[in-house]
Amino acid sequence: RAKKSRRGSFVTFSTEMGSDIRERVRLLQSLRSAVESERLFIVYQPQVNLGRDGDVVGVEALIRWRNEDGTFVPPDRFIPLAEASGMIVAIGDWVLRMSCHELVRLQALGLPNLRMSVNVSQIQFRHPEFLDKLNAALIDTGINPKCLELEITESVAMEDADFMLETLHLVRELGISIAIDDFGTGYSSLSHLRQLPIDRLKIDRAFVSELNQQVSGGHIASMVVELGRNLNLTVIAEGIEDEAQAETLLRMGCHEGQGYLYAKPMVPLQLKEWLQARLASR
Ligand code: C2E
Ligand code: MG
Ligand code: MG
Ligand code: MG
């Protein structure tokens, strides 16, 4: 590396940056082989009604990558890489398709209105074939579009407003609903938010964990709930870990939630057993 410093632009290229890039390249190569050898899979986390009935209203599809040695690479680490390399388009399509097929099986357990929430990356959402693929997934699986929800983040919804607005309307025309994920962590303009054809706000985990703190805890969560009420949007909270949080959220007027208190994300077989046990207990 030192030898390359003859070229001016390489002088600032420190060893640390070099090893960071090497690490990313290595991770990208192993992501490619993980895709090829089918080491990616999907887990599903239940979303429940926070009210007394505690009905399961939906599940969120979350991707997992398990290495040959049994270790996991968290999505927060490889999704950004998959986005930067464009691989997210193929991976995202696969998640969408798999989740729709899974929804058919889950609804057949006796939950005909169960909802499937799928995270969609900005790159995937902007891809010219996205709507066609969405439509194809609906047709091939025959699911009710009303039971499919796409989770996009605030930044996705805010950037390139005209294009996003049009795409969101087209998604909505298919009958699919849209949730804004990690709400409260971005910089949404309220006037823009009001124009978006969306159905749900998802309170970020960070604001849910704050609920336990005496000072200032819960201010943002209650603001999001209030905002949802004013804009006629449903609100769901993610990352609920204890009863106190669930009770506070319910008191604020947030009616749906998801988190370890109810269940961790599960593979289909495990989820099926969990759902059946829950159905049997009422
Ligand atoms: P997210 O969409 O906000 O998903 C919620 C994350 O919170 C998940 O992390 C979930 O496992 C975790 N979680 C749920 N309940 C609790 C709880 O009670 N306590 C704690 N500590 N954590 C909880 P995960 O599965 O690691 O996913 C991280 C992020 O990766 C997701 O955040 C999402 O942005 C992204 N992601 C996951 N799967 C996909 C995918 O298929 N496509 C895309 N584009 N992104 C995905
Ligand atoms: Mg999500
Ligand atoms: Mg989220
Ligand atoms: Mg999150």
For residues 69, 74, 77 and 78, what is the CA-based torsion angle, rounded to 10 degrees? 70
Q: Residue 91 pLDDT more than 70?
A: yes
Judged by DSSP in three states, 189 sits in coil
Closest-lying ligand 1 atom to the alpha carbon of residue 63: 38
When pLDDT is cut at 50, 70 and 90, the band that residue 14 belongs to is: low
Q: Which of 85, 119, 123, 271 to mutate to test the pocket of ligand 1 (most atoms within 8 A of CB)?
A: 119
DSSP 187: -
Whole-angstrom distance, CA of residue 172 vs CA of residue 259: 27
pTM of the model: 0.92
Do residues 184 and 204 touch, judged by C-beta distance below 8 A?
A: yes
DSSP 239: -
Which residues make Cβ contacts (< 8 Å) with residue 138, sequence separation at least 6? 100, 145, 148, 174, 176
pLDDT at residue number 38: 83
From the centroid of its chain, how far is CA 197?
18
pLDDT at residue number 4: 46
End-to-end CA distance of the chain: 66
Residues shown for the chain: 282
Residues 131-180 have pLDDT tens digits of 999 999 999 999 999 999 999 998 877 778 888 899 999 999 999 999 99
Over residues 17-31, the mean pLDDT reads 84
Residues 225-260 have pLDDT tens digits of 999 999 999 999 999 999 999 999 999 999 999 999
Question: Is residue 148 lining ligand 1, measured as CB closer than 6 Å?
Answer: no
pLDDT at residue number 156: 77
When pLDDT is cut at 50, 70 and 90, the band that residue 68 belongs to is: confident
Q: Residue 12 pLDDT more than 80?
A: no
Q: Residue 97 pLDDT more than 90?
A: yes
Per the DSSP assignment, residues forming a β-bridge with 60 are 45, 117
Q: Which of 81, 130, 205 to mutate to test the pocket of ligand 1 (most atoms within 8 A of CB)?
A: 205
When pLDDT is cut at 50, 70 and 90, the band that residue 1 belongs to is: very low
Ligand 2: centre distance to CA 119 (Å): 5
Which residues make Cβ contacts (< 8 Å) with residue 18, sequence separation at least 6? 1
Nearest alpha carbon, ligand 1 atom 45:
119
Residues 191-216 have pLDDT tens digits of 888 889 999 999 999 999 999 876 66
When pLDDT is cut at 50, 70 and 90, the band that residue 3 belongs to is: very low
Whole-angstrom distance, CA of residue 130 vs CA of residue 272: 30
Judged by DSSP in three states, 119 sits in strand
Over residues 13-27, the mean pLDDT reads 76
Whole-angstrom distance, CA of residue 227 vs CA of residue 32: 42
Question: Is residue 46 lining ligand 1, measured as CB closer than 6 Å?
Answer: no
Ligand 1: centre distance to CA 257 (Å): 14
Across the chain, mean pLDDT equals: 90
- Residue 202 CA: which ligand is closest? 3
Ligand 4 is a single-atom ion; what residues have CB below 5 A from it? 182
Do residues 175 and 136 touch, judged by C-beta distance below 8 A?
A: no
The neighbour count for residue 169, using CB atoms within 10 Å, is 11
Structure tokens at 179: 């949730």
ipTM associated with this complex: 0.98
Whole-angstrom distance, CA of residue 111 vs CA of residue 96: 20
Ligand 4: centre distance to CA 106 (Å): 24
Per the DSSP assignment, residues forming a β-bridge with 105 are none
